[in-house]
Structure 1
């Protein structure tokens, strides 16, 4: 009987040890599971924060890109309109009555011919310009009207073509024209 009691004591001790180890293992497993859940929650929260931040940045980039595109399109349309105004003004000058063109040409020649020795004009204005000026006629230039006056050695040229005058006035008045058209 002594051996059975020893065996029984060993078995009970082993069972108690197994039970203790199992309880410790369950507690440790529960602790590990809880830590893993906490880490998972933190990682999920961090991931959500990162995704929200990335979405915010992407949203801002899309808005900025769209705003730039709208500005580009608006500026292109304004430029098209300003170019159209410029072209229409040039066409208005071309279609001026001959008497107005002659009056304008006479004013330019009277005011500036003392500064030169020869002059150039458009083919269409040649006859009128020759009639109005005492300077030597030097040939034609490609323009809608007006004259180019040059000194004897050709080192100084005064460009009084309507094209040049229109361009200068247009460039000086561009801001005012733009403000008038677009407010």
Structure 2
């Protein structure tokens, strides 16, 4: 009987040890599962935050791109309108009555004739220019109107063509014109 008691004590001790190990294992497994759940929550939260940030950035990019496209289209339309106004101005100059053309040419020649010895004009203005000046008529130029004066040795040319004057005024006034039209 003494042996049975020893065996029984060993078995009870083993069972107690198994229960203790099992309890420790269950506790450790529970701890690992809880840590995994917390890690999963953190990773999910981080992923969600990153997705929200990426979405916000993408949204901002789309808005910025759309705004740039609207600005580009607006600027193109403005340029088209300004070009149209410029071309209409050229047409107005081309259809200007001869009396106004003559008045402008007289004004130019009165002010600058002494600076030149040769004069060029458009074919349409040739007779008028010859009647308005004593400078040597040097030929025709392909412009909508106005004159070009040249000195004797051809080193100085004064360009008073309507094309050049209009271009100069247009370029100097472009910002002001744009502000008037578009604010």
* TM-score, scaled to structure 1: 0.94
Instruction: Give ranges in structure 1 of 5+ residues lacking alignment.
Output: none
Q: State the Cα deviation string for residues 124-177 of structure 1 (Å, max 9, x = none).
A: 111211121111111111100000001111111110001011111112222221
Q: State the Cα deviation string for residues 88-142 of structure 1 (Å, max 9, x = none).
A: 0000000111222122222212221111010111111112111211111111111
Moved more, 46-55 or 32-41: 46-55
Alpha-carbon distance in structure 1 between the residues aligned to 2:181 and 2:42: 58
| Secondary structure class of the residue paired with 2:148 | strand
In the alignment, does 2:20 pair up with 1:7?
no
Alpha-carbon distance in structure 1 between the residues aligned to 2:140 and 2:127: 11
**Cα shift at 1:180:** 1.8
Instruction: Look up the match of 1:125.
Output: 125
In the alignment, does 2:81 pair up with 1:106?
no
Moved more, 31-40 or 9-18: 9-18
Q: Pairwise CA RMSD of aligned residues?
A: 1.3
Instruction: Give ranges in structure 2 of 5+ residues lacking alignment.
Output: none
Runs of 4+ displaced beyond 4 Å:
none
Alpha-carbon distance in structure 2 between the residues aligned to 1:94 and 1:32: 91
